[in-house]
With several copies, the nearest count.
Chain A
């Protein structure tokens, strides 16, 4: 289906993967293949497009829920779903901050906020927000800061709120915090405080591009995962 677009397979990928996925696509094309065409958007939008039978080859979601949704609709090629990478959740503050937080049960997040807002993805909508809320609940501080949460449209927007001093603290992915000069990581959530943050990958049942499976395997290969590690993702 995707050949009509001219070149490589069409990959629908969560927006937070943009840099890493582009780098992977470049590498793949350097290996002599047609460069995959990658469309970055919110996982929800991409999943709906797949469910509308839009012709695409691969889907990389920012959370398991939307991948499940697509799977339930019977739109994944059998036995092609795999975990591509995982991510970590961190607390950031504006770059000038000297704060240091150790997320543990009952840690003094409310005091650190000092009445300001806690910027994070919308806990009802954005995956990063859901993970963040789960972690704060697990650490029994959610009820203290609940009223101070500024729900952003996506992680990047939450990051911008902190970078511009609109919020003293924010919860974002480690990958996003890495390259933003306006913020500093002041705390890392222990892996056990939330469900694993995974980016599942699968080939779509409608995929017809001959390179699709090859690129999927490349992404999951050691070479592919190394690229993602370069951008701060965790991949084994």
Chain B
């Protein structure tokens, strides 16, 4: 299957946007999952609902909210512009932000599921062995959550690759800057007889996600199924 140079550019941009989005949002997703799984504060349910927002609302609405917030005159956009001289509007960074936000709920849920399965007795054991809360988190909790983080990252990456509505609404459809695969597919759909291009680009998207899947399986295997499987999530005996 041959792609034109311009199409390769689209693929590279998509991979960049999705990759940056997932890597950037992973720590945030983890922090949110942590708060939802372990926190016992008031407003937990509200936070949970907010995290789900990007799923519940049509992407176009999310894109529009981003546009309003990040416009030069908007609350966040204005601040970013004044303090850092940066704008996300019509930029690939904005596309990454949109992708990250759309992927966030999926990642939070997956990580939270793993986090809730971590046996607190193992964390206690780490504490008696001289590890403070932070070391316990890094050396016990985090690795035991690896399956959820990996699942979340794969899910989020796939979701980012397919993100369309929020992206086109927020950062428009600018070739070379914000035209990711779904936007290119949309463009092809607008042209009579564009179906062949649609198929070609769709296959590329699928191949990209397949690569991510293979990578994640490889990572999972390398960790030797830290998973809870076998290890029992707990302790031997």
A residues with a Cβ closer than 8 A to B are: 5-6, 10, 12, 15-16, 18-19, 37-42, 44-49, 52-56, 65-66, 68-69, 117, 119, 122, 124-126, 149-154, 156-157, 160-161, 164-166, 176, 178-181
What is the total of A-B residue contacts with beta carbons within 8 Å? 152
B residues with a Cβ closer than 8 A to A are: 60, 63-64, 67-68, 70-74, 89-90, 165, 168-169, 172-179, 186-193
Q: What are 10 A-B pairs at a CB distance below 8 A?
A: A37-B175, A38-B175, A46-B172, A48-B67, A52-B67, A53-B71, A124-B187, A150-B173, A153-B186, A157-B168
With contact pairs A52-B67, A55-B90, A178-B192 given, residues A45 and B187 touching in the complex (Cβ less than 8 Å): no
Distance between Cα atoms of A226 and B71 in the complex (Å) = 37
**In contact, A41 and B168 (Cβ under 8 angstroms):** yes
**In contact, B90 and A44 (Cβ under 8 angstroms):** no
**In contact, A160 and B73 (Cβ under 8 angstroms):** no
Distance in Å: Cβ of A12 to nearest Cβ of chain B: 7
**In contact, A53 and B72 (Cβ under 8 angstroms):** yes
Measured between beta carbons, the chain B residues less than 8 angstroms from A6 are 176
Distance between Cα atoms of A66 and B173 in the complex (Å) = 18
Measured between beta carbons, the chain A residues less than 8 angstroms from B174 are 5, 10, 37, 39, 149-151
With contact pairs A46-B172, A49-B172, A119-B172 given, residues A161 and B67 touching in the complex (Cβ less than 8 Å): yes
**In contact, A12 and B68 (Cβ under 8 angstroms):** no
Partner of A164, one of B68, B90, B172: B68
Distance between Cα atoms of A119 and B90 in the complex (Å) = 11
**In contact, B169 and A65 (Cβ under 8 angstroms):** no
Q: What 8 A-B pairs have minimum CB-CB distances, sorted nearest first?
A: A179-B192, A125-B190, A52-B71, A151-B173, A150-B172, A165-B73, A69-B192, A125-B187
With contact pairs A55-B90, A157-B168 given, residues A15 and B73 touching in the complex (Cβ less than 8 Å): no
Measured between beta carbons, the chain B residues less than 8 angstroms from A39 are 90, 172-175, 178-179
**In contact, B190 and A180 (Cβ under 8 angstroms):** no
Closest to A165 in B: B73
Distance in Å: Cβ of B187 to nearest Cβ of chain A: 4
Closest to B190 in A: A125
Measured between beta carbons, the chain B residues less than 8 angstroms from A126 are 190
Measured between beta carbons, the chain B residues less than 8 angstroms from A149 are 174
**In contact, B90 and A150 (Cβ under 8 angstroms):** yes
**In contact, A125 and B191 (Cβ under 8 angstroms):** yes
Known pairs A49-B89, A117-B90, A166-B72 / 17 extra A-B pairs, C-beta < 8 Å: A18-B191, A39-B174, A40-B190, A45-B60, A48-B67, A48-B169, A124-B187, A124-B191, A125-B187, A125-B189, A150-B172, A153-B173, A160-B169, A164-B74, A165-B71, A179-B192, A180-B193
Distance in Å: Cβ of B98 to nearest Cβ of chain A: 13
Q: Select the residue from B71, B179, B193 with max chain A CB neighbours within 10 A.
A: B71
Partner of B173, one of A41, A44, A48, A69: A41
**In contact, A164 and B173 (Cβ under 8 angstroms):** no
Distance between Cα atoms of A52 and B74 in the complex (Å) = 8
**In contact, A164 and B71 (Cβ under 8 angstroms):** yes
